[in-house]
Structure 1
């Protein structure tokens, strides 16, 4: 019986030591900003029309978000699609971290109203934009910074 207890205590001690070493192990990266990536496909012949929107209301809105400290940055990229299901425009919005999403709607609503007017006007604009582009998908990801 004493041997069993001794073995058990020894096993528990080894496991505790292993867990302590594992807990102290430092990861080879740190968590960076969070990036929302939107994949957009403009309708045939509507690329320039959509770019006009991006250069006006979209730019104004995101510049205001940036001024308010809600986002770190944003970007507009073009790419050559290889088939009809791939984007020709990629939009990015960079947030400080996942915590930036907490209460975000309450912080963006006043700015949205300032740029777009009423919710009705904003919704009408969304319907109009759907005539010139299709949102293929959105991914939200976090950058990992290697040490």
Structure 2
């Protein structure tokens, strides 16, 4: 008798657990945003903004047209401390899986920015204008 009661309790807990797992989440996974935190070097704001309005924008638009990203933005930040960014660059992807399209992204980048050597030189040239303080990835959770 005792084993039948124990079995009944186990079955009840199993069913309760399955029921809880079957409940729908109160959110759905949304787009993924990459944020890069940029500190502009003294006297280089106009130069860096010219880069963003030129080659950077061309690359982002090409990536958007190719369906690699859904959007991008540049935000000015009112930095309160010397180590905080002046700008935040954001790139929005439809989901985490979109980050796996490396070959497609490299092809678009090569078409817009040139060879790997040219892209590396461009990165070095931007190094005199700004410092990348870091970056982060975040996924929007859309509440139902």
Question: Which of 115, 119, 136 lines up with 2:112 in the alignment?
Answer: 115
Match of 2:86 in 1: 88
Corresponding position: 1:105 with 2:102: yes
Gaps of 5+ in 1: none
Deviation per residue, 1:5-52 (Å, 9 max, x gap)? 112211211211211221122221111000001110100111111000
Gaps of 5+ in 2: none
Question: Which of 49, 62, 67 lines up with 2:65 in the alignment?
Answer: 67
In structure 2, C-alpha distance between the alignment counterparts of 1:113 and 1:68, rounded to whole Å: 13
Which has the larger displacement, 107-116 or 33-42? 107-116
Q: How does the TM-score come out when normalised to structure 1?
A: 0.94
Moved over 4 A (4+): none
Which has the larger displacement, 137-146 or 114-123? 114-123
In structure 2, C-alpha distance between the alignment counterparts of 1:92 and 1:85, rounded to whole Å: 19
Question: Which of 6, 9, 20 lines up with 2:18 in the alignment?
Answer: 20
Match of 1:139 in 2: 136
In structure 2, C-alpha distance between the alignment counterparts of 1:57 and 1:139, rounded to whole Å: 23
RMSD of aligned residue pairs (Cα, Å): 0.9
Question: Which of 113, 122, 127 lines up with 2:124 in the alignment?
Answer: 127
In structure 1, C-alpha distance between the alignment counterparts of 2:104 and 2:66, rounded to whole Å: 9
In structure 1, C-alpha distance between the alignment counterparts of 2:128 and 2:96, rounded to whole Å: 32
Q: How does the TM-score come out when normalised to structure 2?
A: 0.96
